[in-house]
A = this chain, B = another copy of it.
Amino acid sequence: MTKGPHSTNKLLSIQSHVIHGYVGNRAATFPLQMRGWDVDCLNTVQFSNHPAYGSFKGTKFGPETLKEFYRGLKDIGINYDAVLTGYVPSDEALSVVFDMCKDLASHGVKWILDPVLGDNGKIYVSQGNVDLGVKVTDLESFKNAIDTFNELYNVENLIVTSVQLSNDSTSLYSAGSTRILQGVFKSFYFKVQTIPAQFSGSGDLFSGLLTSAIYKYNEKYGSSVNINTQLEKLPLAYALNEVLSIVEKVLTLTYEHELNKYTSRSQPVPSCLKINDLKLIQARHYYTQELRNFTVHSF
């Protein structure tokens, strides 16, 4: 599966498009392209900017139009390695996107599904869709939630991007779980310092980078994984470590840039900063770096 210097991995990324700013496809695409991926962007919407700005204009593509786009791609016979889906703006669109991804998956295409359940304590989908019956408050209940999910859904790789535990307000916990054999999973977590701000687009950047990192480390180490493989040698652990490290760099650079706006005007910094635009372009040198700055922990 190792590719020559002139071959690329091919991704179909089905997400929103904003003219200005970096969320959805706009957050995922550029970093992946820098990492050598051909990213085909099927935009589900075109908005002037993301809604957190307070105002925006634009339009969503209807389910029939979304189907047409996919038919057009099938007609010219494009092959993909992976399909990435994020937030989809309506139930009808979701059902069309689900059908596309099932079709692709039936042809061996890996599906990286970011369910975008919520952000910062706000849930975007109806409560019944996300309830595992486990309330995550500490590491033990976090582990229980992962085990319950694995029992119910049995996916190959699971990532929980970030949760805050009740006894630790200065850290975020990010976990991964890999299926080693049928019914046997290995789970691990990383602990990351919080940055006191809310960033639009960080989750979409995360899932984009994760797509390429999972491929990269599966190609490198996937074949040697067995029941005795140490946690830190799991491809998913390498991948999550790399993605967390890059995302932390991008957010820190963005945060410092934002802070600088206040300090240069001698204005007080708000206690919870909301940052509309990632400094995705200024941070471009990070996307191709081999960063793994965090320590793998076992539960």
Give A contacts to B, CB under 8 Å. 5-8, 12, 17, 19-20, 26, 30, 33-34, 36-38, 40-43, 46-49, 53-59, 61, 65, 68-73, 75-76, 78, 253, 257, 279, 281-282, 284
Contact = CB atoms under 8 A, between A and B. Distances in A.
A73 B49 contact: yes
B57 A40 contact: no
Given A8-B281, A48-B69, A73-B49, A41 B19 contact: yes
B8 A73 contact: no
Contact of A284 (B12, B20, B34, B279): B34
Contact of A59 (B17, B20, B61): B61
A47 B53 CA distance: 28
A42 B61 contact: no
Contact of A281 (B17, B36, B43, B48): B36
A273 B257 CA distance: 48
A122 to B, nearest CB: 22
A53 B30 contact: no
A215 to B, nearest CB: 15
A40 B36 CA distance: 22
Contact of A69 (B7, B46, B53, B284): B46
Given A19-B73, A281-B33, A59 B65 contact: yes
